[in-house]
Structure 1
Amino acid sequence: MSVENAAPPALDGRTLRDVMSNFCTGVTVITAHDGESPLGFTCQSLVSVSLDPPLLSFCPAKTSTSWPKLREAGSICINVLAHDQKDMCSAFARGGTDKFSGVDWTAGSNGAPALEGALARIEATIENEHDAGDHTIVVARITDLTVLRHDGPLLFYRGGFGRFDA
């Protein structure tokens, strides 16, 4: 068997997006409070990183106008959306709007907004960031977490939303 050192073929963004859309993801809204107002954005790139210490990771786009404000707050809440929260997902994905208009929430133990109706809630503090192309890889330390509902999550697959019932 021969191993060649040829460069891999160039990948175009459309093909990458089409292939990666076959990987189903859950949907979250990551929130924080800057002392004056609640902040948040929709995120699909959540992953558990470590059990000891308890760490998670997510990847905001470098074009995000929300992420720099959440970073400054330092304490965040990852709200795992339930199957019936597609409208909330869409509201937090849009820029230039009052994302919290009509959204019921309470302050979590770390002060970050805990959204009503979420499937689960994970509170964390930002540990570090790593450059990753057009995104940033954020690593956060989990400080508290709880399951709030036991029905299906909101899922994103091939450009659309759906649910999974176990």
Structure 2
Amino acid sequence: MRDVVGSFCSGVVVVSAVGAEGPVGLTCQSFASLSLDPPLVTFAVARTSRTWPRIRDVGSFCVNILAADQRELSQQFSRSGADKFAGIEWLPSPLGAPVLDGVVAWIECELWHEYDGGDHTIVIGEVHELASTADRRPLLFHRGTYLDQPSTTA
């Protein structure tokens, strides 16, 4: 199933928040727009994630859409146990979640609902603020690897 479904190209995002212990974040490639009215987005996180419960406890988060040249950022936020924000520049969103420097766009949400998704949790966020920050191409993932592409639009 992983091989076949991996044929579908996806973008890469970092979901971030600021909890009691400071900023937290995780890499995710299952992000999508869900509804315009009300404005909702969705993503799925592994049930084994130790970061998602910390973001859930905050109740709001920012979805950072990564640019093509932010592969290392994606990898940094996918590691367990490391200080994922070490050396990372960011500014707070209106609700205080980290907006990572250089992202293509960001979407600030409040947790709307969660659903059982087998070995994942399906998260629905209600959009409160959003902005496109750069005229750059997004980071793409296909068949288990990042796609190489220039970061500026043609």
TM-score (norm 1): 0.88
**The structure with more radius of gyration:** 1
SS at match of 2:76: helix
Task: Check if 1:154 corresponds to 2:139.
Answer: yes
Q: Deviations over 1:27-83 (max 9, x none)?
A: 000000014400000000111111000001100100000000000001100000000
Partner of 2:7 in structure 1? Answer: 22
Match runs of 1:88-99 below 5 Å:
88-99=73-84
Q: CA deviation at 1:144?
A: 0.5
Moved over 4 A (4+): none
Matching residue of 1:108: 93
| Residue 55 (str. 1) matches residue 40 (str. 2) | yes
State the secondary structure of the residue aligned to 1:128.
strand
Q: State the AA in 1 paired with 2:85.
A: F
For 1:138, the aligned partner's letter is: V
Q: Unpaired runs of 5+ in structure 1? A: 1-15
User: RMSD of the TM alignment (CA)?
Assistant: 1.1
TM-score under structure 2 length normalisation = 0.95
Higher strand proportion (structure 1 or 2) = 2
CA distance in 2, matches of 1:101, 1:128: 30
Distance (whole Å) between structure 1 residues aligned to residue 21 and residue 90 of structure 2: 15
Task: Tell me how far 1:106 sits from its aligned partner.
Answer: 1.1
Is residue 39 from structure 1 mapped to residue 39 from structure 2 by the alignment? no
**Higher mean Cα deviation, 156-165 or 20-29?**
156-165
For 2:21 and 2:77, the matched residues in 1 are separated by: 18
Q: Extract unaligned runs of 5+ from structure 2.
A: none
Aligned residues: 151
Q: Percent identity?
A: 46
